[in-house]
Amino acid sequence: MKRQRGHKARLCLTPAQALAAEEQGHAARAMWNLVHDWWTMLPEERRNLAAADTAIRQGRRDLPWLGVLPAQAAQAVLKTYFQAWKNCWEGRAQAPNFKGRSRSRMAVDIPQGRDLQIVRLNRRWGRMWAPKIGHLLFRWTKDLPVGKRADKENRVTGARLVKEADGWHVVFRVQSDVPGPAPHTGPTVGIDRGITKPLALSDGTFREHRPWLSSGEAERLRRLEKTKERGRRARKPGERNSRRLKRTYDQIARLRATAKRRAVDWQHKTTTEIAGMFSRVGVEDLAITHMVRSARGTVETPGRNVRQKAGLNRAIAAEAWGRTVTMLEYKSADRGGSVVKVPAPNTSRRCSACGFITPGSRETQARFVCKNPSCGFEANADTNAGRNIDHAAGQAVSGRGDFGIARSAKRQPPTQPHAA
């Protein structure tokens, strides 16, 4: 079967190459905004790809500064914009909007893989070609299907240059032909996601991590945040940010990028281990966007415990639960397993041994003791929730739907033995 994957590598650019890449990134953002204005001003019957392509070609002739963007990269901007509207029409995303200079990430597409001219120089470094920039060095951390190893089924189909807080990166689009996975024969597991215990498995084990930033880095981030707020208060309304304030913003962004990079690394390693061990992974179908909404309320009905809720929202966002599930889904599919999403209500309140929900069973945040006189099951509260998720995953057919019993039922006996 054909498999499409992305591979991200860090670029090592000279000052001239970095300047050229930034000019192309700004031109690509401006091209998006021009296409957006042109598209929204036209009547619906005149909106089509052919007319947009003609407008882009005319714009590149009329505006010389758009010429720094290669023609294929400009066409990629148009295709991406049109795909954004298709995603909106099909209900998968919101409508595309204007890209602000400070709120958008600079990116330049290289849609044709044959233009990249990828060569491995040594064990650590590779070289690629970027139109109107030249040969670029990148960190070689994964074997790519290039040279004699490349064919019609296994090749690099394109790339994108992306600027992040810690510098420029390249994301290769890699197509490979791999054999279909054999059915996974391992046990099943349920996973409860949380803050204190990031991942609690139904077999009684936990997957934990240290803080993403060391104590010194966290203190430095706190001081930079205070410096940023002082600079913002000193700035007059409508006045541009000073160079010092911009430098502070950049330092904060680099520290947060470091934390994210460590978090993604831990998630990749942990999900790879779980996908290799278990044939079926059950997770709660959480509406995370609703969970991290602010508690401020309105002027008429102000919210309560706003600061505490804000802290909880930051903790949930730092764990990136959705990204963990996304990684589990494609890694489990590659290994012949599956990920099943089950309804979240009562997974932490129901006893995983007898199936009853009795008041007061959740004695503390970390301890579950069943109050059913004929049961008395005791376990870690997160482990109990993981066991319930695993039981429900055996019956679930879709997320946020019923899985064989009524939602109002007070008892859900396990239908299969736990795979601990």
Residue 420 confidence (pLDDT): 34
Residue 161 lies in a domain: yes
Residue 119, Cα to own-chain centre: how many angstroms? 29
* Cross-sheet strand order for the sheet of 280-284: 206-207, 199-201, 188-193, 280-284, 338-342
CA distance linking residue 322 with residue 341, whole number of Å? 12
**Domain span holding position 21:** 1-180
Which token pair is 255?
A: 């520290």
Beta-bridge partners for 297: 302
The answer to whether position 197 is within a domain reads: no
pLDDT of the chain, 420 residues: tens digit per residue: 888 899 999 999 999 999 999 999 999 999 999 999 998 888 888 888 888 888 888 888 888 888 899 999 999 999 999 999 999 999 888 899 999 887 889 999 999 988 899 999 999 999 999 999 999 999 999 999 988 888 888 999 999 999 999 899 999 999 998 888 889 888 999 999 988 889 999 998 999 999 999 999 999 999 999 999 999 888 888 888 889 999 999 999 999 999 999 999 999 999 999 999 999 999 988 888 877 777 777 666 777 777 787 888 888 888 888 999 999 999 999 999 999 999 888 888 888 888 888 888 877 778 888 888 888 888 888 898 899 999 988 875 444 433 333 333 334 444 443 433
State the Cα–Cα distance between residues 71 and 221, nearest whole angstrom.
41
In a domain, 224, yes or no: no
Residue 407 counted as domain residue:
no
Instruction: State the burial class of residue 395 (Cβ atoms within 10 Å of its Cβ: 0-12, 13-18, 19+).
Output: middle
Domain count of the fold of the chain: 1
Burial 19-51 (b: 16+ CB within 10 A, else e): ebbebbbbbbbbbbebbbeebeeeeeeeeeeee
Does 370 reside within a domain?
A: no
Instruction: Read off the tokens for 279.
Output: 């044939």
Q: How far apart are CA 353 and CA 374, in angstroms?
A: 11
Q: CB–CB of 181/204 below 8 Å? A: no
**C-alpha to C-alpha distance for 11 and 161, rounded to whole angstroms:** 9
Structure tokens at 32: 């998006």
Mapping DSSP onto H, E and C, the string for 17-42 reads: HHHHHHHHHHHHHHHHHHHHHHHHHC
| Residue 55 counted as domain residue | yes
Structure confidence at residue 414 (pLDDT): 45
Distance of CA 348 to the CA centre of its chain: 26
Q: Which DSSP helix (H) or strand (E) runs through 134? A: strand 134-139
**Residue 343: CA atoms inside 13 Å, Cβ hemisphere, count?**
16
Helix axes 49-62, 71-89, angle to 10 degrees: 140
| Rounded Cα gap, residues 182 and 192, in angstroms | 27
